[in-house]
Amino acid sequence: MYNFIFKFTRILWFYVKPGKTVSETCYVLKIMFLLLAVQIHMKPFFYTIKTVFSSYFSEALASYRKLTNRN
Kind and range of the H or E element at 45? none
| Domain extent for 17 | 2-68
* pLDDT band per the 50, 70, 90 thresholds, residue 45: low
Segment 52-70 shows an average pLDDT of 72
pLDDT attached to residue 60: 72
The count of structural domains within the chain is 1
pTM: 0.31
Contact status, residue 65 vs residue 15, Cβ threshold 8 Å: no
Dist. CA 58–CA 1, nearest whole Å: 16
Better-scored residue on pLDDT, 10 or 1: 10
